[in-house]
């Protein structure tokens, strides 16, 4: 079964966190996401985020992004920087996303440049701090997108780049719904009504994403699955159940956040464990067709639909 994942921070781990000497703790002494673990988990498509903070070791967010693009070669899977193939890849491959938007430095010309070099598919508009685009869920701001954010959305629509609301504050979320020409997504967020953190989605937001045929990638970070205590694969299943109950079955998938999280469900520490999660969903009663959609086809179909 084709598996796709909408978010990981492996390139940051490979290129930046060692430089900073304070990256997320090592999972198993190496990155969770590798050519081997992707193959073991039947992952045909892994989204690799270019995550740039406000300043990094290379000097600017833009230079950090270039460093991460170079680091992608270390993962040793092909990155699809041209048109997607007609059918989902059978062997592990990758696509690029941008997490935070700082690497654009408030310039649409920078977007043109990245687009011709690496073909971004997704831009997560903010990370956990304010930037040129808008305000994060973390800060408690009630302000919506900034003027640059709104012109960026227009340009992203022309390029077929999906606007990702994970990390964005609620006011920004609703602005994306209003101004994005393409279906909005939340690449790595869960249900706020099951785990009450600002990074998760409210029922109203889930409904808005359903109405617009967007996408939600379920995040494996323990603290976004459950407010306290250890988590297991059942906690991921619980969020998937709740999203399906809300009517999101056709727009959900995975946004593991591997290599960007310091705690994860027992038995779900790397892409190699995706078959165990799918097995748990199958035991829960999900049909083959539902499983295929959740495992990867919902995400794939959206990428194909918006590609220009
Ligand atoms: Zn993130």
pLDDT at 20: 55
The first and second tokens of residue 159, run together, are 């390029």
- How does pLDDT run across 37-50, given as a tens digit for each residue? 999 999 999 999 99
Counting the structural domains of the chain, the total is: 1
The first and second tokens of residue 193, run together, are 């009504």
Higher pLDDT residue, 196 or 23?
196
Query: Lowest mean pLDDT: which of 27-41, 81-95, 122-136, 230-244?
Result: 27-41
- Provide the pLDDT confidence category of residue 27 given band limits of 50, 70 and 90: very low
Q: How far is the CA of 177 from the centre of ligand 1 (A)?
A: 20
Q: How far is the CA of 230 from the centre of ligand 1 (A)?
A: 21
**Residue 227 confidence (pLDDT) above 50:** yes
pLDDT at 140: 84
Q: How far is the CA of 122 from the centre of ligand 1 (A)?
A: 12
How much of the chain exceeds pLDDT 90, in percent? 90
Q: How far is the CA of 287 from the centre of ligand 1 (A)?
A: 30
Determine the straight-line distance between the first and last CA of the chain, rounded to whole angstroms: 26
- Provide the pLDDT confidence category of residue 291 given band limits of 50, 70 and 90: very high
Q: How far is the CA of 9 from the centre of ligand 1 (A)?
A: 8
Residue with tokens 């941008």: 98
**Residue 17 confidence (pLDDT) above 80:** no
- How does pLDDT run across 232-289, given as a tens digit for each residue? 999 999 999 999 999 999 999 999 999 999 999 999 999 999 999 999 999 999 999 9
Distance set, CA 114 to CA 78, 97, 120, 190, 279 (Å): 18, 11, 7, 29, 38
How much of the chain exceeds pLDDT 70, in percent? 96
* pTM score of the predicted model: 0.95
SS (H, E, C) the chain: CCEEECCECHHHHHHHHHHHCCCCCCCCCCCCCCHHHHHHCCEEEEEEEEECCCCCCCCCHHHHHHHHHHHHHHHCCCECCCCCCCCCCCCCEEEEEEECCHHHCCCHHHHHHHHHHHCEEEEECCCCCCCCCCCEHHHCCCCCCCHHHHHHHHHHHHHCCEEECCCECHHHHHHHHHHCCCCCEECCCCECCCCCCCCCECHHHHHHHHHCCCEEEECCCHHHHCCCCCCEHHHHHHHHHHHHHCCCHHHEEECCCECCCCCCCECCCCHHHHHHHHHHHHHHCCCHHHHHHHHHHHHHHHHHHHCC
pLDDT at 28: 39
User: Residue 230 sits in which domain range?
Assistant: 3-306
- How does pLDDT run across 136-156, given as a tens digit for each residue? 998 889 999 999 999 999 999
Q: How far is the CA of 100 from the centre of ligand 1 (A)?
A: 8
Q: How far is the CA of 42 from the centre of ligand 1 (A)?
A: 23
pLDDT at 25: 44
**Residue 307 confidence (pLDDT) above 70:** yes
In whole angstroms, what is the distance from residue 79 CA to residue 94 CA?
A: 4
Q: How far is the CA of 237 from the centre of ligand 1 (A)?
A: 20
The first and second tokens of residue 4, run together, are 């796709």
Q: How far is the CA of 101 from the centre of ligand 1 (A)?
A: 12
Residue with tokens 């302000």: 143
Q: Is 263 exposed, middle or buried (0-12, 13-18, 19+ CB in 10 A)?
A: middle
C-beta separation of 142 from 171 below 8 A: yes
What rounded mean pLDDT belongs to the chain?
A: 94
Q: How far is the CA of 152 from the centre of ligand 1 (A)?
A: 20
Q: What is the CATH number of the domain that holds 92?
A: 3.20.20.140
Q: How many CB atoms lie within 10 A of CB 167?
A: 26
pLDDT at 22: 45
pLDDT at 55: 72
Q: How far is the CA of 54 from the centre of ligand 1 (A)?
A: 14
């Amino acid at each position: 079964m084709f598996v796709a994942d909408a978010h990981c921070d492996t390139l940051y781990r490979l290129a930046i966190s060692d430089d900073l000497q304070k990256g997320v703790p090592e999972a198993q002494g190496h990155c969770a996401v590798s050519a081997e673990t992707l193959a073991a988990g039947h992952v045909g498509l892994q989204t690799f985020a270019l995550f740039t903070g406000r300043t990094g070791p290379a000097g600017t967010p833009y230079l950090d992004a270039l460093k991460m693009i170079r680091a992608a070669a270390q993962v040793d899977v092909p990155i699809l920087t041209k048109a997607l193939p007609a059918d989902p890849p059978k062997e592990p491959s990758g696509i690029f996303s941008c997490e935070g938007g700082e690497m654009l430095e408030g310039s649409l010309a920078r977007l043109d440049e990245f687009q011709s070099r690496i073909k971004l598919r997704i831009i997560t508009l903010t990370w956990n701090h304010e930037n040129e685009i808008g305000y994060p869920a973390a800060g408690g701001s009630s302000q919506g997108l900034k003027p640059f954010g709104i012109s960026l959305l227009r340009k992203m629509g022309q390029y077929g780049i999906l606007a990702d609301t994970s990390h964005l504050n609620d006011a920004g979320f609703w602005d994306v719904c209003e101004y994005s020409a393409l279906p909005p997504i939340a690449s790595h967020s869960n249900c706020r009504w099951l785990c009450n953190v600002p990074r998760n989605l409210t029922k109203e937001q889930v409904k808005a994403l359903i109405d617009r045929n967007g996408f939600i990638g379920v995040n494996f970070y323990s603290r976004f699955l459950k407010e306290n205590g250890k988590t297991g694969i059942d906690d991921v299943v619980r969020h998937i159940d709740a999203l399906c109950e809300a009517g999101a079955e056709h727009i959900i998938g995975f946004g593991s956040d591997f290599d960007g999280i310091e705690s994860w469900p027992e038995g779900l520490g790397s892409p190699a464990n995706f078959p165990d999660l799918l097995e748990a969903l199958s035991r829960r009663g999900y049909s083959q067709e539902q499983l295929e959609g959740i495992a990867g086809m919902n995400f794939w179909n959206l990428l194909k639909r918006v590609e220009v």
